[in-house]
Amino acid sequence: GQTIRLEDYRPTDFILHCVDMTVRLFEGRAEIDTRLVLERREGVAEDAPLVLDGDELTLTGLALDGAVLEADAYTATPDRLTIRQAPARDRFLLDIATRTVPEENTKLMGLYRSNGIWCTQCEAEGFRRITYFLDRPDVLAPYRVRIEADRTAAPVLLSNGNPTESGDLGDGRHYAVWDDPFNKPAYLFALVAGDLDSIREPFTTASGKPVELAVYTEKGRAGQAGYAMDALKRSMVWDERRFGREYDLDVFNIVAIADFNMGAMENKGLNVFNHKYVLLDPQTATDADYAGVETVIAHEYFHNWTGNRITCRDWFQLCLKEGLTVYRDQEFSADERSATVQRIGAVRRLKAHQFPEDQGPLQHPVRPTEYKEINNFYTATIYDKGAEIVRMLATILGEDGFRKGMDLYFERHDGDAATIEDYLACFEAATGVDLSHLAVWYNQAGTPTLSVHEDYDAGTDRLTVTLRQSLEPGAAGTRTDPVHIPIRFGLVGSNGQDKDAVPTQGPDVEGDVIHLTEAETTLVFENLGERPYLSILRDFSAPVNLDFAQSEADRLALARLDPNLFNRWSVLNDLIGEAMVRACRAGGKETASPLPAEIVDAVLATAADPALEPAFRAQALALPAEPDVARMLGRDVDPQIVHDVVDAARRAISTAGVQVFERLAAEMATVQAFSPDAESAGRRALANAALAYLTAATNDPAAAEAQYASASNMTDRLAALGILVHRFPDAPASQAALDDFYRRFETDELVLDKWFALQATVPRPATLETVIALTGHARFSMRNPNRVRAVIGTFAAGNQLAFHRPDGAGYRWVAERLVELDRLNPQIAARIATTFRSWRSFEPTRRGQAEATLRQLLETEHLSTDLGDILGRSLK
């Protein structure tokens, strides 16, 4: 594949005015007639050809201004249509007829079929698999779409915009016409046709506009769409209140699809979802699933303004819509749930996914400057680090300043395909704040380190704090200049209250935020009355590695006292992580506890504190996971040692805390009817954490077995099954529970994914043999992305002991599956291949095995651009 570069950006030679399509669906084929109104852009040479993108297309007709084009007037290949002589000045009509076979589209990009339903996925470059087009985000137009299909096979016909017309065609066929008045790029096009059930609800926007909302599902599943509908309505209200953004069409449709490459897609007025993010009920979905649905529904809805009304000029600007929309969905969830607990979850995910990406061979700036395959850039860096930059912007400007900048952005750029520069310019114009140091975040790959040094002089009652930022050069080869790091902080007194912390020397401090824009700076605080505890980087106000040798005593005090709850969690979590790292470096001698008694006590005190909300207490009990510890170790990682250390830490807490856990298990047990709200979910999380520790203390699966049998909801049932299968894999009770689970939920693909994933993550080397068997199971399919992710993806990403087996068998098995998968669905293959990215951080044996596997894989013939790109960069 060739490299696309940001510096090469230039507008298209031709302007597109509108799109009119007729899509005729039949068993085994789709016929697509597309009429484009085009015009040569002013200043473009009169002999410049019109070049349209295609991908695996068959051209069946072509006419210019109504006249069929002679064979020598154009060249058509499956991936390009070149028209040699397009009119020099006037607008002209181009009629293109193409034909595709949706049933054979295993890439799930473009028009395909999922369980009989016709559906589309066009972002990033799927529209060119439907028709020849100027398939890039800066080509916007209104669309009119007519769909024709058999009425029995597809009573429901949907596309973007508003429905305008429908009727009978005879012969059992019918049609519907959809009009989307808003200019949009092709990646937001969507079409769905099938025999679907739905639920509907009216909504009235703040200014009184009525909107008909609908969620469509496969037959018989609409009863599971109620929570998604509820989340949609809450999202709509929230966007009106928080950002003043109203919905703009007469209808808003969501469709749940079983075979989907990603989570969901924000097509204008017709969001298409992986059914995992729509279908729920207490018996089949966990609290985490409910939270996931709420987030993804909100995210896709929020794209209507940040992504659709204002889109990206080119794919290098992807974070303009994704980072911003993640920030918006995080803020929504913070408002709907517990802000602190949501932030802890977001930071855990950032560190688990984005940090390793940014610190390894696949690192890239939040706004990349080149790519080979854009689908490989829908990454944690674009999404989550992109959201962190928006969060820093909000921290720097304050709530009012941020809102003013957002208002100006919506006003200035509505209808545009914009850039990051456009975005930042709005905030500078609205507030007068210089954002040049913040802008640097977009262009540099890697996680900066923030080093903190403190020195308190009791004689003069002065606290001196030195802050230093640094960035290691990495694989992306980008610059390492200082960035604007907003550091939220507090000086906590022994009474647990923040002192007035106005420095007598040092850089800008606004309220509780230090603005570090230089490589290094020093602050001096005076007249404190006592040595305060320095609470730094509150709420993780910047995505940095914190390097602060704060004493254990100070951190334990902060874990009890800090008025900032996020930091109470983070100091404790860091202490645990650092202790685990020390134990790993010492070789992980399994007899001694890796956790000092004071840390164990602090964890238990937090878990037992009735003044804290249960969800927060559950977070305090959730230890750093094995991959977190591996990341902190950084090099020469031996996953077996990491596993033993994490396990020993768990046992240390469980033995010391038996009484606490017995009490919690009883107090938090589900008594009332199931409710998915955050409060109830927090109680279940704490109860299930207690159950896990209790079974570890007793080394007896009985309590988990009992909970499995009596559970009244999936959260409690799956938690119990997880303990059984992961901690007691050979106990007869575990196998019995697994079999029972399968029988109970056999007909529900989403629950079966949980059954597969649980077995693929049993932490022991022999799980490789289990997953080999699972891929032979009658219900395994290489064609369903959810199932592939549940078995192969979770194995590679979540099974440190089996994937990283020292004999290399785990690597080789995954590599063989990737070759198979690559022929069917390159996007999914490339995504799973990123699980190899940290290969250099392992000890020499595994490192050698992984490298040999990757090199051999890269030699495979006919590798897709997607997979080839990931492998090539991973080996760089």
Q: Active site includes 421?
A: no
Could you say which residues in the range 339-378 bind ligand B3K, by CB under 6 A? 375, 378
220: Cα within 13 Å, side-chain hemisphere: 2
**C-beta of 678: minimal distance to ligand B3K in Å?**
23
Give, rounded to a whole angstrom, the gap between the first and last alpha carbons of the chain: 17
Q: Nearest-CA neighbor of 256 among 291, 285, 229, 236? A: 229
CB of 293 to ligand B3K, least distance (A): 14
Judged by CB under 6 A, the stretch of 193-201, 262-270, 337-345, 711-719 that binds ligand B3K is 262-270
CB under 5 to 8 A by kind: which of ligand B3K, Zn ion, none does 265 bind?
Answer: ligand B3K
- Cα dist from 390 to 399, 761, 772, whole Å: 12, 35, 43
Residue 837 interacts with, from Zn ion, ligand B3K, none (CB under 5-8 Å by kind): none
Cα 399 to Cα 89: distance, rounded to the nearest angstrom: 49
337 interacts with ligand B3K by CB under 6 A: no
748 binds, among ligand B3K, Zn ion, none (CB under 5 to 8 A by kind): none
Considering only 195-203, 258-266, 334-342, 345-353, which stretch makes contact with ligand B3K by CB under 6 A? 258-266
DSSP string of 253-270, one letter each residue: EEEEESS-SSSEE--TTE
The answer to whether residues 450 and 546 touch, using CB atoms and an 8 Å cutoff, is yes
Q: How far apart are CA 768 and CA 805, in angstroms?
A: 9
C-alpha 216, offset from chain centre: 23
Stretch 372-401: interaction string toward ligand B3K, x if CB under 6 A: ---x--x-----------------------
Could you check whether the bond before residue 124 is cis, i.e. omega within 30 degrees of 0? yes
Tell me the C-alpha distance between 585 and 633, whole Å. Answer: 8
DSSP-assigned beta bridge partners for residue 198:
216
Q: Whole-number minimum distance, CB 188 to ligand B3K, in Å? A: 9
For residues 821 and 789, the answer to whether their CB atoms sit within 8 Å is no
Number of residues that bind ligand B3K (CB under 6 A): 12
Supply the minimum distance, in Å, between the C-beta of residue 192 and ligand B3K: 16
| Pairwise CA distance, residues 822 & 99, whole Å | 24
Q: Single out the segment in contact with Zn ion by CB under 5 A; choices: 315-323, 589-597, 655-663, 722-730.
A: 315-323
Using the rule CB under 6 A, is 869 a contact of ligand B3K? no
How far from the centroid of its chain's Cα atoms is residue 446's Cα?
A: 19
Q: Nearest distance from residue 107's CB to ligand B3K, in Å?
A: 11
Which of 94, 108, 156, 262 is close enough to bind ligand B3K by CB under 6 A? 262
> What are the φ/ψ torsions at residue 93 (nearest 5 degrees)?
-100, 135
Task: Give how far the C-alpha of residue 451 lies from the chain's centroid of Cα atoms, to the nearest Å.
Answer: 29
Residue 260 vs 745, nearer CB to ligand B3K: 260
Q: How far is CA 31 from the centre of its chain?
A: 35
C-alpha closest to that of 133 among 43, 12, 26: 12
Interface residue with ligand B3K among 62, 265, 492, 774 (CB under 6 A) is 265
Q: Which is nearer to ligand B3K, 382 or 580 (CB)?
A: 382
What span, in angstroms and rounded, lies between the C-alpha atoms of 372 and 377?
10
CB of 438 to ligand B3K, least distance (A): 23
What is the rounded distance in angstroms from the CA atom of residue 537 to the CA atom of residue 737? 44
**From the list 55, 95, 123, 628, which residue makes contact with ligand B3K (rule: CB under 6 A)?**
123
CB 695 within 8 A of CB 629: no
If the CB atoms of residues 302 and 566 are measured against ligand B3K, the closer one turns out to be 302
The one catalytic residue among 123, 125, 218, 300: 300
Q: Between 125 and 626, whose beta carbon lies closer to ligand B3K?
A: 125
Nearest residue (CB) to ligand B3K, 245 versus 303: 303
Binding segment for Zn ion (CB under 5 A), chosen from 1-9, 321-329, 568-576, 766-774, is 321-329
Q: Is the dihedral of CA 409, 413, 416, 421 positive or negative?
A: negative
Contact characters 252-291, Zn ion, x per CB under 5 A: ----------------------------------------
- Residue 259 CA to residue 750 CA, distance in Å, equals 11
Task: Tell how far CA 401 is from the center of its chain.
Answer: 27
Phi, psi of 193 (to 5 degrees): -145, 130
d(CA 295, CA 345): 13
Element (H, E) at 193: strand 191-194
The reply on whether position 34 binds ligand B3K by CB under 6 A is no
Q: How far apart are CA 704 and CA 696, in angstroms?
A: 11
Nearer to ligand B3K, 341 or 833 (CB): 833
Three-class SS of residue 155?
coil
Q: Could you tell which of Zn ion, ligand B3K, none binds residue 388, using a CB distance below 5 to 8 A set by kind?
A: none
- Contact with ligand B3K (CB under 6 A): which of 52, 124, 392, 424? 124
Q: Which residue type sits at 677?
A: D
| Rounded-to-integer distance, Cα 466 and Cα 456, Å | 12
Q: Which of 485, 452, 685, 462 is nearest to 555 (CA)?
A: 452
Cβ neighbours for 479, distance < 8 A, ≥ 6 positions apart: 443, 444
**Span interacting with Zn ion, options 247-255, 283-291, 310-318, 320-328, rule CB under 5 A:** 320-328
User: How distant is the alpha carbon of residue 293 from its chain centre?
Assistant: 12
Stretch that binds ligand B3K, among 259-267, 436-444, 588-596, 631-639 (CB under 6 A): 259-267
What gap in Å lies between CA 651 and CA 646, rounded to an integer? 9
CB of 21 within 8 A of CB of 146?
yes
Residue 378: name its binding partner from ligand B3K, Zn ion, none (Cβ under 5 to 8 Å by kind). Answer: ligand B3K
User: CB 81 → ligand B3K: shortest distance, Å?
Assistant: 23
In the bound state with ligand B3K, the residue whose beta carbon lies nearer, of 303 and 515, is: 303
Applying CB under 6 A, does 266 fall inside the site for ligand B3K? Answer: yes
User: From the list Zn ion, ligand B3K, none, which binds 124 (C-beta under 5 to 8 Å, kind-based)?
Assistant: ligand B3K
Closer Cβ to Zn ion, 312 or 637, answer by number: 312
- The residue whose two tokens read 């932030």 is 343
Quickly count: other Cβ atoms within 10 Å of residue 419's Cβ.
Answer: 19
Site for ligand B3K contains 300 (CB under 6 A) = yes
By the rule CB under 6 A, 299 interacts with ligand B3K? yes
262 binds, among ligand B3K, Zn ion, none (CB under 5 to 8 A by kind): ligand B3K
Q: Which is nearer to ligand B3K, 123 or 512 (CB)?
A: 123
Query: For Zn ion, what does the binding mask look like between residues 322 and 341, x meaning CB under 5 A?
Result: x--x----------------
Residue 264 or 483: which CB sits closer to ligand B3K? 264
**Binding of ligand B3K by 322 (CB under 6 A):** yes
For Zn ion, the closer of residues 420 and 583 by Cβ is 420
Interacting positions 623-682 with ligand B3K (CB under 6 A): none
Catalytic residue set? 300
Footprint on this chain of ligand B3K (rule: CB under 6 A): 123-124, 262, 264-266, 299-300, 303, 322, 375, 378
Q: Which residues bind Zn ion (CB under 5 A)?
A: 322, 325
